[in-house]
Amino acid sequence: MKIGIIGAGRIGKVHGESAMRYVKDAEIKAIADPFITDATIEWANKMGIKNIYKDYKKIIEDKEIEIVLICSSTDTHSQISIEAINAGKHVFCEKPIDHDVNKIKEVMAALEKNKVKYQVGFQRRFDKNFRAAKEAVLAGKIGDLNVLKITSRDPGPPPVSYIKVSGGIFLDMTIHDFDMVRYMSGSEVEEVYAIGAVLVDEEIGKAGDIDTAVISLKLKNGALAVIDNCRRATYGYDQRVEVFGSKGQVAVGNQLENTTVISNGTGVTAEKPQHFFLERYMEAYAAEITSFIEAVKTDRETEVTVVEGLKPVLIGLAAKRSMVEGRPVKIAEIEKEYGL
Amino acid sequence: MKIGIIGAGRIGKVHGESAMRYVKDAEIKAIADPFITDATIEWANKMGIKNIYKDYKKIIEDKEIEIVLICSSTDTHSQISIEAINAGKHVFCEKPIDHDVNKIKEVMAALEKNKVKYQVGFQRRFDKNFRAAKEAVLAGKIGDLNVLKITSRDPGPPPVSYIKVSGGIFLDMTIHDFDMVRYMSGSEVEEVYAIGAVLVDEEIGKAGDIDTAVISLKLKNGALAVIDNCRRATYGYDQRVEVFGSKGQVAVGNQLENTTVISNGTGVTAEKPQHFFLERYMEAYAAEITSFIEAVKTDRETEVTVVEGLKPVLIGLAAKRSMVEGRPVKIAEIEKEYGL
Amino acid sequence: MKIGIIGAGRIGKVHGESAMRYVKDAEIKAIADPFITDATIEWANKMGIKNIYKDYKKIIEDKEIEIVLICSSTDTHSQISIEAINAGKHVFCEKPIDHDVNKIKEVMAALEKNKVKYQVGFQRRFDKNFRAAKEAVLAGKIGDLNVLKITSRDPGPPPVSYIKVSGGIFLDMTIHDFDMVRYMSGSEVEEVYAIGAVLVDEEIGKAGDIDTAVISLKLKNGALAVIDNCRRATYGYDQRVEVFGSKGQVAVGNQLENTTVISNGTGVTAEKPQHFFLERYMEAYAAEITSFIEAVKTDRETEVTVVEGLKPVLIGLAAKRSMVEGRPVKIAEIEKEYGL
Amino acid sequence: MKIGIIGAGRIGKVHGESAMRYVKDAEIKAIADPFITDATIEWANKMGIKNIYKDYKKIIEDKEIEIVLICSSTDTHSQISIEAINAGKHVFCEKPIDHDVNKIKEVMAALEKNKVKYQVGFQRRFDKNFRAAKEAVLAGKIGDLNVLKITSRDPGPPPVSYIKVSGGIFLDMTIHDFDMVRYMSGSEVEEVYAIGAVLVDEEIGKAGDIDTAVISLKLKNGALAVIDNCRRATYGYDQRVEVFGSKGQVAVGNQLENTTVISNGTGVTAEKPQHFFLERYMEAYAAEITSFIEAVKTDRETEVTVVEGLKPVLIGLAAKRSMVEGRPVKIAEIEKEYGL
């Protein structure tokens, strides 16, 4: 089972290592990146990857390669997806597929014509903590869902240059939370209302984005949800979920750096949450790649299909409009505009 | 210092006991209630209260009584407040003063004419946990406020008969949270958006109310806030606050029944939160009455003035309108309508 | 029901206030203390106590007084107990009854001749947390006891002058933990082995005592127990118990000052344990006095009889000998020496 | 850097995988086990290990192999260690080196003659939690050590057949805790006193061992320590440490299965501790092998030398004698008997 990785950044390397480590018979045949660094070459050598390309098309064209992991910059995801799908490859694509719904529709069209697997990189669905919460919900432990609460805060903001091309906080950061709302509730979103502020860095505001947000959502199953985001939490990467229902609540807390607790005159101090998303979700990244390759091998549906990749983008666009226009926005309004 | 209590229900008795226990020289001279029960008579005897009236006016007319605690049903608060104020008495009035802003304005007018103290019963401000959080905020420990989150859930819904006269969830239950937003943020509220659902009891819906709500708020200081409410939490009275800012977060957790933790094959189980509001806020009730009488004695401003009592009502009315009309509502819109 | 309090220190006042507050018909008729301070007089006036004596015998001789609370210095406990018992009074006596087992035997002899109630002041048995743990044990939640662990640390050492007359750490401080071992296990102690060190204050060592100890115990029911003590914990009054058995464990944690948790670059900091024994056990002190007076009223056995007061002293003496002689000491060895 | 693994059980495989995964240039050249199973062959194939032997001597004799990992049964550790050392190989040896101190002395003698690295498998020293606690201690955060407490309980007892050859609880299970006492305190042990009971399984008693123990220790630095062990904890693998000192305490808690917390009418239930030692210490196993190979590569001393492997055996023997003879036993007494 030969794999090609497009994009040799952090996440591309993480996926490559996971595939090597956890998937029997997996072989990374090639990696492609327009900017190949010495560090990448060294990493590829260590991993036994023999082909390093600047042009990703060499991977697309390689008949031996069955699986393509798209880890390049967001603006290339949909185009490469389409090319890879049309070349008959199974595709794992980092989130989001695209900010432009029409481009996602093109990916969907390509998938209809080619019988290949496609998985979008919402790795949080594979996190053991969120998964255990989901299982508790499915096992009926909280009864019917009443209120779903998600807190999602980054340890610090990305460079403003990134924010300018990221599609904004709702499509870049909250998109994971929109996916989590759908995953955890098992329901579609009906309507969204978003408020936001620039409280972390004025440059983010100048770039046309916000850095702090509260988004309330009505779900189709009648339950309510709320997400709060911030680009900066001094205490680390804050990733919590509370699923509250008629029989009780299941909450997912942060994973701490370690289990030490120091007691002294200041108080009783536990460790901070793990600081970095790669550290926090390392196991989840491995699990999603393993699950994807397993889907290819056993010819079953992937756990995060192209539709699962589309939906959070629609919610993100609705949130964006809600904040700009200061009104609640129905997802149907966005869907209608794109003929969905 | 002679005190008269109007309303001999649970909260009237709690305040009477607090005054006796914690305030030097306090004497409950009389208690009035239209429905005097044997239990009330027994309680009054034990407390050494010599005068038990059906008609509260006997308390108003008693020249010896300096302080009146209004613990009667909500619809009588403003009328009795006005009478007591005009009779020159210092008044402690349970929340809310009234659902009708015009009535509150009449109380304010009475207070302008009479130099007496007036305190509204927002007891959570006197809870040692919320107070410690507020002190942490004032001490700069979280820096500038970014996001304030309040979870407030009752262990079970009140009788539907109560809901019909309570003014609805926003004026009866969330009003405490609106007060907490102002207390903890030190800021006024600019705009509110509320979504709600009937998920606990259909009868509540038939009575024209909701039982589950998420309210997002823009604050005048630029920060964001969100409240989530539910009339039923199977695990008890859920009262939590998170104040998140540029330097970190201070969170207030629930007070548990006791500190035992049982570990077995099921998991590691701590006790539930204290179940009942009287139990949870017993110390706070004592502290608010003590603070009020102290304000009278030392002739200082009370900690929860009539204006502090008015503001959450305005926010509650805005929330109600927001939910009905499906749009964000500015507090100024409500204020303008009442000439405030 | 008229009460006399002998000893007007902190604990005497606490018991007086509890009796007044929580016991119907209780009246503190007199208080006696060889050193009456202005503060005591002021306190007595506020409490409506009309008789303040230097000589406790006036309380013993007062025919109207039915109940005597002995809160004087430890060296007077047994003598006053005997006098009060012989005068037909019900006696609540602070722990320990005496360091001298023969004196306790004299109290027991007096009790055999006079049909009065006698309760020893092991207030921890009345703490809601330890009581909940005991109830979990009795309900079979941990199965058969395997290992009982008690951590008991003071926030800071008492004055060395106190240590010189206190009977040493085992009779003054650990005695509470010996009582807790018996309470929580429902078993007698078979054998004890103690190691100790002077790590807090050299003056304590010069006074012939230790300030840090680990005591391991074999229980008659076959289970094991261990206590660790220290006279100083910088983070407050550390009072924890773990009861581990065949089906699981119930642990009692510390009561914290409040429920706030601050997260920042340093970590996630909860409050310290309550710092002072009066604060930590305030409710328990009230509960023990209420229980005692209830026992008098209903003519039932007290919850901490003279024998319950004797046993921990025997264990304490065994622990002392164990440490001095560097060997495990059976309780039977001590008992035999005293003809028990 | 070619490696040979002797013993193809669980831990041998874990070490093999760690070496492959985390150490650059590591190659497992051969694995030896008297009982080669199909599962082992499959595992070896997957790992690319080309040589599978029944006789470990083929590894000893292989000149190309520089490093030997001894993961065979305890009774073979010292003999194979000596052979491997004399063949000039660097040796990682699972704990304990031997139950017989004289055999360990022979290993020490072999090491004196051959300049090779030797590391004993006390993996807990490499656990991130214990290591963070140790760093806090070294950083002075708890001041001078007063009391060190270790709770170490297995989820369930091993087969009685294992217990018969394991050397007993003190040499098989507590030996890790004795090592942890030395690691965390930075001090040697002066004297030990052990009490034990058979509370889990009578068969363990019939095999001449106990299953529940409390061991108190005097340390040479003047501090006290206590360990409690049990072969069965229904809630999982209980591995906790408290290091209490003049400035405060650092505690290491359990690692839980995941971070979910369920609140309902029963209470607030967090997950159990990770259940199995391999799961709990997986990262630590990787870290110890990495550290060992690093020591070989950079020619530095290993982090757990043969002397570190000897000391806990001496303490274990003292504990065993203490329990049998019912008296505290000095480590010097054991050392003297072995001419140490």
Which of A9, A134, A24 has the alpha carbon at shortest distance from D45? A24
Look at residue B22 and tell me whether its pLDDT is greater than 90: no
Q: Which residues of B touch D271 (CB under 8 A)?
A: 267-268
Give the tens place of pLDDT for each residue, B103-112.
999 999 999 9
C26 band by pLDDT with thresholds 50, 70 and 90: confident
* Chain B interface disruption, residue of A181, A214, A325, most B CBs within 10 A: A214
Distance CA C310, CA C95 (A): 10
Distance CA D165, CA D162 (A): 6
Distance CA D229, CA D153 (A): 5
Tokens of residue D25, six digits: 């240039």
A&B contacts, CB < 8 Å: 104
Residue C317 phi, psi dihedral angles, 5° rounding? -65, -40
Distance CA C92, CA C67 (A): 8
The domain segmentation of chain C, as residue ranges, is 2-116, 125-277+311-337
B&D contacts, CB < 8 Å: 50
Terminal C-alpha separation, chain A: 36
pLDDT the model gives residue B46 = 81
What topology does CATH give the domain A127-275+311-337? Dihydrodipicolinate Reductase; domain 2 (3.30.360)
Distance from CA of D267 to the nearest CA of B (A): 5
Q: Which residues of A touch D268 (CB under 8 A)?
A: none
Which of the 8 DSSP states describes residue B273?
A: B
Does the CB of A340 have a partner CB in chain B at under 8 Å?
Answer: no
B48 band by pLDDT with thresholds 50, 70 and 90: confident
Query: In C198-229, which positions are buried (b, 16+ CB within 10 angstroms) versus exposed (e)?
Result: bbbbeebbebebbbbbbbbbbbeeebbbbbbb
Cα maximum dimension of chain A: 67
Distance CA D118, CA D120 (A): 7
Q: In which residue are the tokens 């965390």 written? A: D184
Give the tens place of pLDDT for each residue, A16-72.
988 887 887 788 999 999 999 999 999 998 888 999 999 999 999 999 999 999 999
CA nearest to C200 within chain D: D246
C&D contacts, CB < 8 Å: 105
Q: Which residues of D touch A264 (CB under 8 A)?
A: 141-142, 247-249
Kindly list the partner chains of chain D, i.e. chains with 3 or more CB atom pairs below 8 Å. Answer: A, B, C
Q: What is the full DSSP assignment across A13-54?
A: HHHHHHHHHHSTT-EEEEEE-SS--HHHHHHHHHHT--EEES
Q: Under an 8 A CB cutoff, do C270 and A267 touch?
A: yes
Distance from CA of B146 to the nearest CA of D (A): 26
Which of C274, D111, C263 has the alpha carbon at shortest distance from A271? C263
Distance CA A147, CA A244 (A): 5
List of chain D residues with pLDDT < 50 = none
Given the candidates 3.20.20.70, 1.10.10.10, 3.30.360.10, 3.40.1710.10, the CATH classification of the domain at D125-276+311-337 is 3.30.360.10
Preceding amide of A96 cis, omega within 30: yes
Ranges B24-28, C253-257, D165-169: which has the least confidence: B24-28
* Chain A interface disruption, residue of C234, C269, C271, most A CBs within 10 A: C269
What topology does CATH give the domain D2-116? Rossmann fold (3.40.50)
Judged on CB neighbours under 10 Å (0-12, 13-18, 19+), A102 is: exposed
Look at residue B24 and tell me whether its pLDDT is greater than 80: no
Q: Under an 8 A CB cutoff, do B199 and A327 touch?
A: no
Does the CB of C234 have a partner CB in chain A at under 8 Å?
Answer: yes
Domain C125-277+311-337 sits in CATH at: 3.30.360.10
List of chain A residues with pLDDT < 50 = none
For the question of an ipTM over 0.85, the answer is: yes
Taking residues C143-170, report their average pLDDT.
Answer: 95
Distance from CA of C268 to the nearest CA of A (A): 5
Work out the mean pLDDT of chain C and round it to a whole number: 96
* Chain A interface disruption, residue of B185, B187, B193, most A CBs within 10 A: B193
B21 band by pLDDT with thresholds 50, 70 and 90: confident
Q: Under an 8 A CB cutoff, do D262 and A250 touch?
A: yes
Distance from CA of D63 to the nearest CA of C (A): 51
Judged on CB neighbours under 10 Å (0-12, 13-18, 19+), C301 is: exposed
Q: Which residues of D touch A27 (CB under 8 A)?
A: none
> What type of residue sits at position C25?
D
Q: In which residue are the tokens 């040697």 written? A: D188
CB under 8 Å to D338, separation ≥6 — which residues?
D101, D102, D105, D314
Q: Which residues of B touch C142 (CB under 8 A)?
A: 262, 264
Preceding amide of A155 cis, omega within 30: no
Pairing of strands B329-330, B189-197: antiparallel
> What type of residue sits at position B120?
V
Residue D62 C-alpha from the chain's centroid: 28
pLDDT the model gives residue A329 = 98
Does the CB of B321 have a partner CB in chain A at under 8 Å?
Answer: no
pLDDT the model gives residue A147 = 98
D54 torsion bin: left (phi>0), alpha (psi -120 to 50), beta (else): alpha
Give the tens place of pLDDT for each residue, C65-104.
999 999 999 999 999 999 999 999 999 999 999 999 999 9
Question: By the 8 A CB rule, do B177 and B150 touch?
Answer: yes
Distance CA B64, CA B62 (A): 5
pLDDT the model gives residue D6 = 98
Alpha helical stretches, state H, chain D = 10-22, 38-47, 57-61, 77-86, 101-113, 128-138, 160-165, 169-172, 174-185, 202-206, 277-280, 282-298, 306-325, 331-337
- What global pTM score does this model have? 0.95
Preceding amide of C158 cis, omega within 30: no
Query: CB-CB: which of A141, A257, A260 is closest to D252?
Result: A260
pLDDT the model gives residue C46 = 81
Give the tens place of pLDDT for each residue, B75-134.
999 999 999 999 999 999 999 999 999 999 999 999 999 999 999 999 999 999 999 999
Does the CB of D136 have a partner CB in chain A at under 8 Å?
Answer: yes
Tokens of residue B206, six digits: 């038939």
Kindly list the partner chains of chain C, i.e. chains with 3 or more CB atom pairs below 8 Å. Answer: A, B, D
Q: Under an 8 A CB cutoff, do A223 and B144 touch?
A: no
Q: Which DSSP helix (H) or strand (E) runs through C20?
A: helix C10-22
Alpha helical stretches, state H, chain A = 10-22, 38-47, 57-61, 77-86, 101-113, 128-138, 160-165, 169-172, 174-185, 202-206, 277-280, 282-298, 306-325, 331-337
Q: Under an 8 A CB cutoff, do A272 and C267 touch?
A: yes
Entry field: residues in chain C: 340
* Chain C interface disruption, residue of B141, B142, B243, B258, most C CBs within 10 A: B258
Question: By the 8 A CB rule, do A282 and A124 touch?
Answer: no
Distance from CA of C234 to the nearest CA of A (A): 5
